[in-house]
Each structure stands twice: as C-alpha cells, then as structure tokens.
Structure 1
C-alpha cells in the first residue's frame, strides 16, 4: 500500500498542501497552498493559490502602489494568499526572472516581495508565470507536521497548471487528482489501521 504521508524530515518546500475535509469549518476549507518554506526548526510559510481576490483589481492595486504604466501592458492574477499580513503582497513566479528581494523556492519557482517585479510585469515583461498573493499562511515549528498527522492536509508535488492556472475553482480537485484521489470519496473521519 502506498503512503500518502510525506517524508516530513525532508521538508515540504516547493510542494502543495491540499486541505482535507477536516478543515471544512476553517478559512482553509478546500484550499491549495504552495509552500514557500518549510523546516522542522523554523516552521512553514505558504501562499493559498486557489482563492481569487475580487478587490482590489490588479490595475487598482498598481495605481495604489504608484506602479506605471497605467493601464499595465500585462496583468497577473491576484489571490488571497492567507490570513497573515493580508495587506502585504508576494509575487510567486517562475524562475526565468529574478530581482532584488527574490528568493528561490526551488529550481523552478521564486518568491519576490519587492515592487520591482510588479513594475517589470506592468511594463509587459518579467517572469513567464506569476501570481500576486496578498497575505500568507504560516505555521510554528511542529504545527504543520502535527496537522498533517491529524489528516488536515495532504502534500502533493507542485505543478505550474495548479499553481499559476487561472481556473481557481478546479485547483483543489485537480490537486487531489494528482494524487489519484477522488474528492467525493474523502471522509472527515480520522482513523488508524
């Protein structure tokens, strides 16, 4: 039998966290989170990638930040990245562009928290794939590991179509599908064999 529990000692940086039915009554119900950092000593930080942010729109946000040109030559999606510091923006993007304030998550994904990336994107250039998340999710050391053991989350390999895709409504189902799990068959009851 194949175990769905990840090797937590190896770290989960660059992987997806998929909310299980146990989180149905939480703000993370049916969330898909890209983990930007994870270690057993420091905890974890990630961005919810399947919660479209209605307001402000990308153009309005660029105007608030004083980023030109207006209108921008290129737009990216905005997500509600999580409940922590929801007025702070993070651009998660492909590794084909880096700048000041960029942190490589892995070989293919970079996290940038400076305005430079937004200026380049508004100008029509920048990374091939990108999304802007307002806010983030964090876990204290040991907290995420405990939640995974309690079946609150599944970890899955990341892929660009889930992280950067525009169909937010299907990301949770597609992330589960990447593990060959049918969401209809999930139960919120925790058991041990």
Structure 2
C-alpha cells in the first residue's frame, strides 16, 4: 500500500515568488525576490527579478552580434537582470506568452527559454510581448530549499504577471510582501519563537 500522506505534504514552490528574509539570506541573494521556475525532489531553479544590472537588452544583443532593427524600440533600453549566482555567463528569458522556442519550458502562461532564437526575434522587433532577461540563476540541490524554508530564510507568495513584467524592479520586493499584508519591510525579522 502506498502512503499518499507524504506526497500531500511535499512543498512545491514552482511558479511562486520567494522573498528573502532580512538577516537570514546573505550574499548575492540578500534582499531579493526570486521567481521559482521549477521545484522538484531533485532541487529548484529560480530567477532573481529585482536586481537589474547596468547591461541593457540592446547591449546584450550587440554582444551576441544580433543586428538591431528599428522595430526593437524602447525594449533595447530594458535592463538585463542578475538572475542568480549560478552560470552567470548564461542567459535566461522569462516571457509571456509562452510560445515555444527551441529550448523552452512552459510554466503555465509563462515560459523560460534559454535558446538564442528568442533573442533573435527580439532583435528584429518581434518576440514575446512581456519578457525579463537574466544572466545566471539561483539554484538549490535536493532538499536545500526546503531546509532554508524551515529556517525561515524565505517567505513565499503567489507570483503575478504584474510584479514579474510590469512593475519597476525596485518596487517588486515591497509588492511581494504586500501580498502577505506586510506593508513595512522594517517590521520583518527572521527570528521565530517556539512556545
């Protein structure tokens, strides 16, 4: 007989936002909001969505020798984000709609693409209506994210397309917390009491 009670208690944070708790998450992930693309028993992969770099989409496309069309417009001034400390030389494109490219993973109505063809479309003024480009990603091994969650290192909330694609990067942390009813991040503490 299979015990289904354990599978019901498995924490799946796929397509959720992780909000770093002050004093609990340090280094390059301190004060970040991470969109969790995938969370399985083998581990988790996410992209930091609130840490823009000085690199613009136009700069990135030029570095990749992709000729820019006039149709690219203001999109070329959009920032490329620090996606996390793993594989910082590799690009990840979170986009909507989730049309398929040669290397895309569908995440509901959103997709994560790592192939060059999405950037080729962007360079000529096509491509997804909404997108966020990162260099690198945040990764956790098997059980690592669950362990960090049990130590109150992260809060998690539902991801919204507005936070992911429309909101200014510096407002995303507070907006994610506001979904939990936290209006002042100064009130957060990583300490938890046990009775």
TM interval, shorter chain, is 0.7 to 0.9
TM-score (norm 2): 0.87
Q: Does 1:45 align with 2:56?
A: no
SS at the partner of 1:136?
strand
Q: Specify whether residues 166 and 71 from structure 1 end up closer, same or farther in structure 2 by C-alpha distance, changes over 3 A only.
A: farther
Q: Distance in 2 between matches of 1:149 and 1:10?
A: 11
Q: Cα deviation per residue 1:37-76 (whole Å; 9 max; x = unaligned)? A: 101x21000000000011x322221111111225661424
Tell me which residue corresponds to 1:135: 136
Q: Distance in 1 between matches of 2:70 and 2:60?
A: 11
Q: Comparing 22-31 with 142-151, which one deviates more in the overlay?
A: 22-31
Gaps of 5+ in 1: 1-6
Deviation at 1:28, TM superposition (A): 1.3
* Contact 1:51–1:79 (8 Å) recurs in 2: yes
* Contact 2:93–2:131 (8 Å) recurs in 1: yes
TM-score (norm 1): 0.88
* Contact 2:98–2:106 (8 Å) recurs in 1: no
* Contact 1:33–1:47 (8 Å) recurs in 2: yes
Tell me which residue corresponds to 2:155: 154
Residues 37-186 of structure 1: pairs in structure 2 closer than 5 A: 37-39=38-40, 41-54=41-54, 56-69=55-68, 73-74=72-73, 75=75, 76-105=78-107, 107-182=108-183, 183-186=185-188
Q: Specify whether residues 80 and 152 from structure 1 end up closer, same or farther in structure 2 by C-alpha distance, changes over 3 A only.
A: same
SS at the partner of 1:148?
helix
SS at the partner of 2:164?
helix
Q: Distance in 2 between matches of 1:168 and 1:152?
A: 21
Gaps of 5+ in 2: 1-7
SS at the partner of 2:52?
coil
* Contact 2:48–2:138 (8 Å) recurs in 1: yes
SS at the partner of 1:69?
coil
Aligned length, in residue pairs: 184
Pairwise CA RMSD: 1.8
Q: Distance in 1 between matches of 2:132 and 2:24?
A: 25
* Contact 1:59–1:70 (8 Å) recurs in 2: no
